[in-house]
Structure 1
Amino acid sequence: MTLYDLFRGSVQDFPERTAIICGEKRLTYRQLDAQINELTNDLIKWGIGKGERVGVYFPNCTFYPAMLYALLRIGAVFVPFNIRLSYFETVELIKLTGCSTFIFDRRYVGKEKEDKKHCPSILRWIAGDDEKVDKCNCKPHYELCPGESIDIAGEDEGLIIFTGGTTGNATGVVVTHDALVSRVVMKYRDEQRTMHYDVMLNHSPMFHTGGLSLMIQTLSAGGCFVMSEKFDPDAIIEDCERYQVTQMVLIPPNIIYSIADSPLMSSDKLSSVRLCIVAGGAADSTVVGKIFDTFENASIYLNYGSSENSITLGHIMSRKDFKQKPWRIKSVGIANMASFVRLLDENGNEVPTGEVGEAWGKSPAQMKYYLGRDSNAVNGWIPTGDLFRKDEDGYFYFVSRKKNMIKSGGESVYAEEVECVLKQHPDIKDCIVFGLPDRTYGDAVAAAIVPEVGKSLVGEEIVDFVKDRIASYKKPRKLFYVDEFPLTAAGKIARGEFTETLAARKPDYSI
């Protein structure tokens, strides 16, 4: 069984029900299936075959599910690329995956001519839009009828999704067809399962695990998936009323303030929402309270997951829970069906209940392997690099990341990566990068900088220097200029204490 088989079940059960909406465009399950079939045979004409890795470079659009299912039907590997990355970051990921085909939004046409110099693995550059790809006049070796797929084994690769892991360098997570199906099936024992009558509203990018997983989950259940190309609080409010949304995503949770402050805000317009899915950052009591105030009929789903999917945790918090068990706000929930979790100390021993340990996970939905690096798995158990504690009721509480990572605006930003770029600036002697609590972004990327002797720093120029080299969302939004960094007895920067001191100080530059 494959994801396409699950989707076809929805086509057969609900052919005239709306499957997907993006902007003013909507497709029923029958129409989406027809688009998938046409696209499948177009890809066959292009000569794309089983096992080939195909890069997909598109913003959120109705074409995304068509491309996913079409590639899976012919046994190719779907590789979604983050369109927010810089040109050089994208080239490096193409090299990492060894994609043989790159299908891109035709708004980026022309870029492929330059890419050919740097990406020798790419045999086909194919432009497309939200309806189709450019045609190939080659005679196909075969064609597939609606509902047909080539023979695919469960252990065959189906998806490569990118994650930063714990190093800051993007890593390809390879997922099999069996694992993709397991990710859907396991959700039906989860409190946040999506049913055929649900309307899911998502603003998260499809090239991230969160958005892609919710789309797959919704279309497998026969529900309606509403996506937006970018976050727009006014549009979210209008979409909730227009489509009678029942579930929606808040990534990061702090975006609730933008929704609540919108001039279009009205509790009546949001009255259909019964569940808000919170992810991409911490949700404290103030944020949770604001969500309940804004969505008067909704509960909140707090969760933890990853691209590797060795662990999935989650729980629903109702208004009653919020009042009677406020400490549960800090929990990311209990382990989902068939998701096994161990908390281990540095010696590999399980820690007692209530104590902190690194989470190791094992699940039928987990990845097959990483591209380019070892997973450090032991007997199928994969380390997450994240520290948790578990209470007597089985609820897990996220404590910290083993290495520095900042969740800003729903994106993972790694301090070491930004530091490396800043240190390339000729006027910067040393720096550290860290996160500061921020109402809009959850955590804002901040940097403390020691200038070279006799040099004056211009904040705007420093930020532009970073933006020119890595994705814009990784740029520091707050800059602090310092003479030196305090050191520990071991000669290392006393990062924790020093950043706490800076948090109480006004930045020298902010955006």
Structure 2
Amino acid sequence: MSITALEMNLLRRQNLGDSLRRSALTAPNKPAIIYYTTDGASRSVTYAELNRRANAVAHNLMQRGITKGDKVAALSRNSIEFLVLGYALHKIGAWLVPINFMLQPPDVQHLITFSETKWFFVEDALLGNMSPVLDKLTGVQQFVQFGPSPSRPAGWMAFDELLPGPTHDPEVLIESDDVATLLFTSGTESAPKGVLSTHANYYAAHLGWSMNIGYSKDDRFLVSIPLIHMAAYLFCTLCLTHQITIVMTQSPQPVQMIELIERHRITATALPPTLYVAMIACPNFKTCDLSSASKFVSWASTIPKAMIDGWKQVAPHLRFYSGQGMSETTAAPQTVGSIGSWDEMPNGDGRWVGWPAAYCIELRLVDDEDKDVPIGTAGEQIVRGPAVMKGYYKNEETNQRVFRGGWFHTGDVMFRDAEGNHFFADRKKDMIKSGGENVYCQEVESVLGTHPAVMQCAVFGLPDERWGEAVAAAVIARAGSTVTEAELIEYCRERLAGFKTPKRIFFRTSMPISAANKLLKRELKAEYAKALA
């Protein structure tokens, strides 16, 4: 009897759905997800239950016409159902298309149409915002509602209707290099960039983080950033592959996150600096027991000294892992390094992102002609390896440009020192041009962030008749500290070249952030440019 193509595929493929099944077989009764809504209500699901639900949804989707390669979109805050849907799609080879719930309805309409979505899942609490465009989504064959609300639009299906049915794993021929997710890096551009990430990409990213940090099944991982973004989805799939219990919140609420770290003895999480800083400012930060924290990942922005100092006081065994990754590399670590205190920060520079990571990414720093730059010189980061995406969806022109020479050109600018430490300089598009000189925002932030009165800062350029662009900064001061604009400017002038020193500093109590809790510098720039005008 000869082996069939399906049997050979099932024998040795990499598939996210298979990884959940294996975890369910090994640890059936272990909590896979402990979930909390914004109002504190909680529920949980074991590995066996999660796998059974994903299988049932997979069978129901297939019975209703969803097949390998079809696109299924989800617009929702974090939930167990979001991951059930994702794994159901992984098991049948369909594509999960997460949609940013912060987008305006016309932008959502554009992405649904552009991606050729067949089924669209929407959280009940977000339906009202979507109502102006729902009747324009003519390509969608079926709408499904997430959430407990008993009322829903006519013709819509409740998610629970997909749960009764067969619970055995469906067997579909899915190659390791088949697409698992189509995730948009920007939903407001006329030609959005849709990142095509394969099952093999996710496996490579899992292995990269595991090898460089050392996650184990004994960890307890807090997930509060939105699943609609690559980092959150990647870390969830990593945890469910490792048999790690995920403690998930519906949205990132710092006070609640602190309570859950204490309640569940959380050991690991992955957050941008904005949220680590926000938690320090919470009234329960120093009253809760946070000593279990040991492996916290940070990315997306310069690390402020106040962040490291604040957490060191409450979590003596905590190590912060500074990493560099992006959606196009499946949030895999391109560089990574760890510190336990600010004294360990190389050169005292919060732009540090570690050393080239083991296994999944190879990187170079190059000039505009793709030639390697010397030590100490900033260059664009280009990468290759098994975690790099398959390409951008329906965007062959951009694919040809970013993949030239067999390397993915990230658009990120970095430099390295003689010891191999890598430091993030800026995104090429965010660089300030002041008086004919290039100013990297992250360099200025790394200096401002060391001032004892500064909790958080963001540097950006403002239009200026003399300089073209003037360096400006928004600052949140530490609680109980008093500092003036003149003092901070002088502090920078003593440590930076004159053209890099901020011309204006604006004090604030909060920063504008995205759904992924990244600083929105474009909003700061627009706000202050308008005010100054």
Q: TM-score, normalised by structure 1?
A: 0.77
Aligned residue among 301, 306, 329 for 1:286: 306
1:124 aligns with 2:167: no
2: distance between equivalents of 1:234 and 1:257? 12
Residues 322-378 of structure 1, C-alpha deviations (whole Å, 9 max, x = no match): 348453643211222131101111122111222211111101111111124313212
2:258–2:288 contact (8 Å) kept in structure 1: no
Q: Equivalences for 1:377-396 in 2 at 5 Å?
A: 377-396=403-422
Change (3 A) 1:498 1:352: closer
Q: Would the aligned equivalents of 1:267 and 1:294 in 2 still touch at CA under 8 Å?
A: no
**Equivalents in 2 of 1:247, 1:136: separation in Å?**
33
Q: Which residue of 1 aligns with 2:47?
A: 29
**2:68 aligns to what SS in structure 1?**
coil
Offset from partner CA, 1:244-276 (integer Å, 9 cap, x none): 10112332x143343233222336610111122
Instruction: Give SS of 1:41's match.
Output: helix
Q: Where does residue 26 of structure 2 map in the other structure?
A: 13
5 Å matches for 1:196-345?
196-251=217-272, 253-266=273-286, 269-309=289-329, 312-319=333-340, 322-323=343-344, 325=346, 327=348, 329-336=350-357, 337-345=359-367
Alignment of 1:39 onto 2:57: yes
The answer to whether the Cα contact below 8 Å between 2:35 and 2:248 also exists between their aligned partners in 1 is yes
Mapped to 2, the partners of 1:294 and 1:136 lie a distance apart of 45
One-letter amino acid of the counterpart of residue 486, structure 1: E
Please tell me whether residue 190 in structure 1 is matched to residue 203 in structure 2: no
Which AA in structure 2 matches 1:443?
A
Query: Using the alignment, how far apart are the partners of 2:506 and 2:125 within structure 1?
Result: 45
Q: Partner of 1:349 in structure 2?
A: 371
Q: Does 1:402 align with 2:381?
A: no
Of the three residues 152, 170, 174, the one matched with 1:152 is 174
For the 8 Å contact 1:57–1:103, the answer to whether it is kept is yes
1:171-190 to 2 correspondence within 5 Å? 171-190=193-212
Change (3 A) 1:106 1:155: same
> SS in structure 1 opposite 2:343?
helix
Residue type of the alignment partner of 1:30: A
Conserved? CA contact 1:53–1:97, under 8 Å: yes
Partners of 2:98 and 2:460 lie apart in 1 by: 26
Contact 1:112 1:125 survives alignment (8 Å): no
- Matched AA of 1:503: I
Amino acid at match of 2:227: M
> How many angstroms does 1:444 deviate by?
8.1
Pair 1:126–1:361, CA change in 2 (3 A):
same
Structure 2 portions without partners, runs of 5+: 1-13, 37-41, 150-157, 433-440, 472-498, 509-527
Distance 1:135 1:47, change over 3 A: farther
Give the 3-state SS of the residue equivalent to 1:220 in structure 2: helix
Task: Give the direction of change, closer, same or farther, for the CA distance of 1:363–1:316 in structure 2 (3 Å limit).
Answer: same
Partner SS for 2:316: coil
Pairing partner for 2:76 from 54, 58, 69: 58
Deviates more, 1:323-332 or 1:347-356: 323-332
Distance 1:170 1:440, change over 3 A: farther
Letter in 1 for 2:414: F
Contact 1:249 1:277 in 2 (8 A): yes
Mapping of residues 339-488 of structure 1, within 5 Å: 339-373=361-395, 374-375=398-399, 376=401, 377-404=403-430, 443=458, 485-486=464-465
Cα deviation, residue 39, structure 1: 1.6
Shift of 1:509: 6.0
User: Which residue identity is paired with 2:321?
Assistant: Y
Q: Does the C-alpha gap of structure 1 residues 499 and 99 become closer, same or farther in structure 2, counting only changes over 3 Å?
A: farther
Aligned-partner Cα distance in 1 for 2:349–2:505 = 27
SS of match in other structure, 1:149: coil
SS of residue paired to 1:286 = helix
Asked whether the equivalents of residues 358 and 388 of structure 1 are also in contact (C-alpha less than 8 Å), the reply is yes
Seen in structure 2, the aligned counterparts of structure 1 residues 441 and 34 have a Cα distance that, compared at 3 Å, is farther
Match of 1:3 in 2: 16
CA 1:324/1:53 → structure 2, altered by over 3 Å: closer, same or farther?
A: closer
Q: Distance in 2 between matches of 1:349 and 1:155?
A: 30
SS class of match (2:133): helix
Residue aligned with 2:328, SS: coil
Aligned counterparts of 2:351 and 2:275: Cα–Cα separation in 1:
18
From 463, 469, 480, give the equivalent of 1:494. Answer: 469
Rounded to whole Å, the distance in 1 between the matches of 2:312 and 2:374 is 34
Q: Give the number of equivalent residue pairs.
A: 437
**Aligned position for 1:428:** none
Give distance in 1, aligned partners of 2:192 and 2:460.
Answer: 18
Q: CA 1:9/1:120 → structure 2, altered by over 3 Å: closer, same or farther? A: same
Alpha-carbon separation, structure 2, partners of 1:130 and 1:340:
46
3-state SS of paired residue (2:420): coil
After superposition, the C-alpha distances for 1:23-61 in whole angstroms (9 at most, x for unaligned) are 111111111112212221222233211111111111111
Relative distance call for 1:12 and 1:320 in structure 2 (3 A) is: same
Is the 1:267–1:296 Cα contact (8 Å) retained in structure 2?
Answer: no
Please state how far the C-alpha of 1:76 moved relative to its aligned partner.
0.5
Separation (CA, whole Å) in 2 of partners of 1:105 and 1:166? 21
Name the aligned partner's letter for residue 111 of structure 2: L
Deviations 1:351-409 (A, max 9, x none): 12222111111011111111243132124311011111122333211112110289xxx
Q: 3-state DSSP class of the match of 1:297?
A: coil
Secondary structure of 1:302's counterpart equals strand
- Residues 385 and 401 of structure 1 are in contact (CA less than 8 Å); yes or no, is this contact kept in structure 2? yes
Q: What percent of counterpart residues are identical?
A: 22
Q: CA RMSD in A?
A: 3.4
- Relative to structure 1, the CA distance from residue 63 to residue 166 in structure 2 (aligned partners, 3 Å threshold; closer, same or farther) is closer
1:498 to 1:270, Cα distance in 2 relative to 1, 3 A: closer
